[in-house]
Structure 1
Amino acid sequence: MTSMLSPRLDHRLVTQRLTLEPVSVEFTYQLLEYQLDNRLHLQPWEPARRGDFFTLDTLTARARAMADSMAAGNALHWLLLEGDTVVGECNFTNIVRGPFLACHLGYSIDHRRQGKGLMREALTVSIDYVFERIGLHRIMASYRPENARSARLLHSLGFEREGYARAYLKINGAWADHVLTALINPAV
């Protein structure tokens, strides 16, 4: 078991239908296409995005920052690929070591691919990686109460409800309540 991320670790994961590729500037064009194509679909669930967020320069800088965060051992950022097309993202951020050994999970999927089990497939393999290769003890995920898809997905993966946080995150320009969940590594 590895307790720290390292640029030498192979973070690429493969499932039956997807490749989870670590974010890098190599995929900036595909990431931009994904963001533009899903702008309205993701808007209710994400922070308000300025217009320049949806530019090649901004997404190149974002990809660099994500790659740097991975190299520093603070996060894992994956793009979900079908062939060369980005169809989603999953991110394990705010990795804390020491007695906590925890992180936060965030994810999104292309509007045309909802309900096909792709996110469940991606999260199953990435959660196993985070628990088995990185050695974390806890993965925390939150969702807005009206997001029934996320509620079902997290429940199906074994996440347990731990609480309800009022005005937890500023989403789409307004403070939004969230349901707090966590998944505990049974081996740690």
Structure 2
Amino acid sequence: MLRLDAEHVMRPVEAGDGPALARAYLTNRAHLAPWEPTRDETFFTDAWQEEDARRCVTDAAAGRSIRFLIVSTDGEIRGRMNLNNIVRGAFWSADLGYWIDASRLRRGLATRAVRRVTEYARDELKLHRLQAATLVHNAGSQRVLAENGFVRIGSAPKYLRIAGEWQDHLLFQRLLEEPFSSRPARP
């Protein structure tokens, strides 16, 4: 368990998290809709979320990914941090993805959580780099990445199908051997 502040901790997804995840996704449905793939109704059910939580546990045990929950002192899920597509060999890299509960925006929670998951990737997973992609117009997420030393490395036209459309993304990376200090992202 990683402490983020007096109100929040970050911990890996566990079996049994399905109902709390379903509640968090339902609460944030409208907030997340512009930033995520189109979700059908089953995604928001306890059963679907529990099955996904179990997949998360299996993927973590196999070293393919690790997904974290941001949990507040009231026990509610307030966000997720995902290290997906962990690759070893000559690459030693992973993709970073995340979201924060609408009620917790603009408090620095995403910035702290990205920093902790980046430290985890460096110290525990011994990765060389993290990559993140944001929608071109997601200035908030781009600020969070810049504050954590990610630099823009390019753009990807029609990169992911988000909100029902293939959308352009900006690509960022963080080399983990570099010291942790804030750097502005390249325009």
TM-score where L is the length of structure 1: 0.91
How far apart in 2 are the matches of 1:21 and 1:47? 24
How far apart in 2 are the matches of 1:89 and 1:71? 18
Alignment of 1:20 onto 2:10: yes
Give structure 2 stretches of 5+ with no counterpart. Answer: 179-187
Residue number in structure 2 paired with 1:111: 102
Residue number in structure 2 paired with 1:5: none
Q: Relative contact order, CA 8 A, sep 6+: which one is greater?
A: 1
Residue number in structure 2 paired with 1:3: none
Give structure 1 stretches of 5+ with no counterpart. Answer: 1-11
2:87 to 81, 96, 104: 96
Alignment of 1:157 onto 2:148: yes
Residue number in structure 2 paired with 1:77: 67
* Alignment deviations for residues 7-42 of structure 1 (CA, whole Å, 9 cap, x no partner): xxxxx2222232112111222221111000000100
Residue number in structure 2 paired with 1:48: 38
Alignment of 1:35 onto 2:38: no
Measure how far apart 1:95 and its partner are: 0.1
Paired-residue identity, %:
36
* Alignment deviations for residues 130-151 of structure 1 (CA, whole Å, 9 cap, x no partner): 1011100010000001111001
Residue number in structure 1 paired with 2:184: none
Question: 2:5 aligns to what SS in structure 1?
Answer: coil
How far apart in 2 are the matches of 1:164 and 1:27? 35
The root-mean-square deviation of aligned C-alpha atoms, in Å, is 1.3
Which residue identity does 2:46 align to in structure 1? L
Which residue identity does 1:42 align to in structure 2? L
Residue number in structure 2 paired with 1:146: 137
Which residue identity does 1:73 align to in structure 2? G
User: How many residues are treated as equivalent by the alignment?
Assistant: 177
Q: Is the 8 A contact 1:13 1:126 kept in 2?
A: no
Which residue identity does 1:124 align to in structure 2? R
Segments of 4+ moved more than 2 angstroms: none
How far apart in 1 are the matches of 2:116 and 2:41? 34
How far apart in 2 are the matches of 1:128 and 1:21? 14
Q: Is the 8 A contact 1:75 1:93 kept in 2?
A: yes
Question: 2:47 aligns to what SS in structure 1?
Answer: helix
Residue number in structure 1 paired with 2:55: 65
Question: 1:21 aligns to what SS in structure 2?
Answer: strand
How far apart in 2 are the matches of 1:158 and 1:114? 20
TM-score where L is the length of structure 2: 0.91
